[in-house]
Chains A and B, each alone.
Chain A
Amino acid sequence: MEQSLRDLETAVTRLAADQPFALSWMIRTVGTGEVIGEDATRAVASFSTRKVSVLLACLALVETGELSLEDRSVITEEMKDGVQAGIMRNLSAGISLSLRDSLLQMMSTSDNICTQLVFAAIGSVRPDPLQWVNDYCAWMGLHATLHREIFPRTGDLTWSHSLDTLTTTTARDQSRLLEKLGRGCVDDTAAAQLMLSVELCAFAREAMLGLFTPALGVACTQIRFAEKNGRGLRSLSQVGLALSASGVPLAAVAAYAENIPTQLPSGLPGRVAVFDLFAELGLAVQEWARGR
């Protein structure tokens, strides 16, 4: 392992130490097979970080020609029921979106009306869209990831909720998928392993660069993160693909903070400390990238 990667491991381990919540994390350098992390096989609720795999599983059907990014569908009033995430729930029913735009909103604002539209599109060509996404994850080696719902009704959950009915994953699985995506953005063979083209991998990367609430890359000035967030009741997560200023994929990062107290002893909301940590994690990756 390179010294700079060891330094990154030390830096992230220090960041994670003494936090009032549990952090499982993994970082994979793109194309080298090098991996660092801690507690990365812990099963966690994925919340919206699962949408990276939903995005890629849907794009695999675009690659086969069964779906088109220009396919259109209409938002109905019924789709708003139970939705907590996104911007479409506050707009009038009847808005027509292309599959391309539904995928972009699913990633940018984590819009769960758009997530329903994406699953409906998959369901138009596969009998069980949730099973298609689960099969895709299994094919990609995400053996600890189980998609259990189209979208979670977080408004019905308590802080101490069970994981039994929620989609679960691990930092290892999510970093594995993102590392494959990084290679797929620049290599035809790697893209084919994701059942995609280089162009569709690039589409996925661009969709993730449009995240409305970046956390890993929020303080970075020399690298960027194509990233996706996840928000539960007691958990916050962030997964991302670190890119050089010129867009070269550098590393896949997955971090899951669990059992976050609603409030710290100081009185600050617990989530504030997690977002500080995610920003510091992004800066640590930037420092590693500078020293390579």
Chain B
Amino acid sequence: MVAEVRMLTLEECAAAYPQLRFAVGDAGLSGVVAESRADEPHDLGGIGKLLLGLTLAHLGQSHEGFLERSLTVSRDHRAGARTGTLRLMSGELQLSVEDAVNLVLSTGDGACVLALLDFAAAEGVDLLSEAGGLTSSLRLDAVQLSGLESGESWGEGLLGSATAASTCQLLRSLGTLDDPEDDPAVAGGASSEARQLLHGWMGKVFEPAGLASALPGYGPRRVRHQTLSGFELTAVGAQRGYSSALSLPNQAGEWVHVAAHLPPSSAGAHSPRDVSAVLGGLGLAAYLSTRN
């Protein structure tokens, strides 16, 4: 039997999926509006790409022309990729840095991650240090970065741990596409331009699984949202778990943010469809909470 998405409230999600860690926050002063085990550390498990994207977007603002530079996705990069679709292709592929980051966030492309890591190293950029500096300035104390993927990639780039609460805090700090003003105090050093880039990438996720998988809509049409998921981590999900992030506007147009992590080998979650049933149910519950 395949697990089915269930219609639950946020509170019911916590009871129905006791292993699930999640935090739901809004942009207002109230902060977190629902949570379950939100302060328990977990493997990044799919949201390393969020921190990698933010770091590269930040570098793009501080190093003029950085995102427009060309990189090569090589045979070695494709051979080391465990996720994404470029690994299916042949020969070398020339992409801009921005296009490579786009593919990392939209499809979790491991070949692009390895190409980006090599490109940054060749440019003398210490990505781990840069990412650590950003998480410090954003006061994400629960985010612990331990290294970079090397040799093989599951589309993450950065390795380490986080909590659902810290990921939700990050999403809140990044604001939304609708933010008219740059508030450096909130954004913790991430410029408005860098945040806009990240929002653009998160709005183009290809066939999102995870929290966005059961949002209302049909065909190519879905309710407005931005997301990331660890669906691409299926191959290692049994060891690392599945993280997902979602932002969507409520009826007043204010954005609500959701971060979740389903730990490895969670009871009843045996296939990607089962994982999406749990995370999709939570995402749908979050959406329905914005309609009330």
A contact set with B: CB distance below 8 Å: 84-87, 90-92, 95-98, 100-101, 104-105, 108-109, 154-155, 157, 159, 207, 210, 212-213, 218-219, 231-234, 260, 262-263, 266-272, 275-276, 279-280, 283
Contact = CB atoms under 8 A, between A and B. Distances in A.
Given A90-B102, A91-B102, A101-B91, A268 B273 contact: no
A283 B272 CA distance: 14
Contacts, number: 112
A163 to B, nearest CB: 15
Contacts of A267: 7, 288
Contacts of A219: 2, 270-274
Contacts of B206: 86-87, 109, 212
B280 interface: yes
Given A212-B206, A218-B273, A269 B89 contact: no
B79 interface: no
Contact of A98 (B1, B91, B217, B220): B91
A92 B215 contact: no
Contacts of A108: 85, 88
Contact of B4 (A104, A233, A276): A276
B218 A270 contact: yes
A114 to B, nearest CB: 11
Interface residues of B, number: 40
Interface of B: 1-2, 4-5, 7, 85, 88-91, 93-96, 98-99, 102-103, 106-107, 204, 206-207, 213-221, 270-274, 280, 284, 288
Contact of A263 (B90, B95, B207, B216): B216
A52 B196 CA distance: 38
A92 B221 CA distance: 24
Given A90-B204, A105-B85, A212-B206, A271 B107 contact: no
Given A91-B103, A213-B207, A269 B218 contact: yes
Contact of A233 (B98, B99, B219, B271): B219
B96 to A, nearest CB: 6
Given A105-B89, A232-B219, A272 B5 contact: yes
13 contacts: A90-B204, A91-B103, A95-B99, A98-B90, A98-B91, A101-B89, A207-B88, A212-B107, A218-B271, A233-B219, A269-B218, A275-B273, A279-B2
B107 A87 contact: yes
Given A90-B102, A218-B273, 14 more contacts: A87-B106, A91-B99, A91-B102, A95-B94, A108-B85, A109-B85, A157-B219, A218-B271, A231-B220, A268-B284, A269-B217, A270-B218, A272-B5, A276-B4
Contacts of B106: 87, 90
Given A105-B89, A232-B219, A266 B7 contact: yes
B49 to A, nearest CB: 15
Contact of B218 (A104, A213, A262, A276): A262
A154 B219 contact: yes
B12 to A, nearest CB: 14
A279 B218 contact: no
Contacts of B99: 90-92, 95
A105 B95 CA distance: 16
Contacts of A154: 219-220
A270 B217 CA distance: 9
Contacts of A92: 95-96, 98-99
B4 A260 contact: no
Given A91-B103, A105-B85, A218 B90 contact: no
A91 B73 CA distance: 14
A243 B204 CA distance: 33
A96 B216 CA distance: 36
Given A87-B85, A283-B2, A159 B95 contact: no
A267 B285 CA distance: 11
Contacts of B89: 97, 100-101, 104-105
Given A87-B85, A233-B218, A279 B273 contact: yes
B292 to A, nearest CB: 13
B271 A212 contact: no
Nearest to A277: B2
Given A92-B99, A219-B2, A280-B2, A271 B218 contact: yes
A155 B207 contact: no
Contacts of A90: 99, 102, 106, 204
A271 B280 CA distance: 13
Nearest to B109: A87
A271 B94 CA distance: 37
B205 to A, nearest CB: 10
Nearest to B93: A95
A104 B4 CA distance: 31
A241 B59 CA distance: 46
Contacts of A275: 273
A108 B84 CA distance: 10
Of B2, B91, B103, most A-chain CB atoms within 10 Å: B2
A157 to B, nearest CB: 8
Contacts of A231: 219-220
Contacts of B103: 87, 91
A255 B214 CA distance: 21
Contacts of A218: 271-273
A96 B221 CA distance: 30
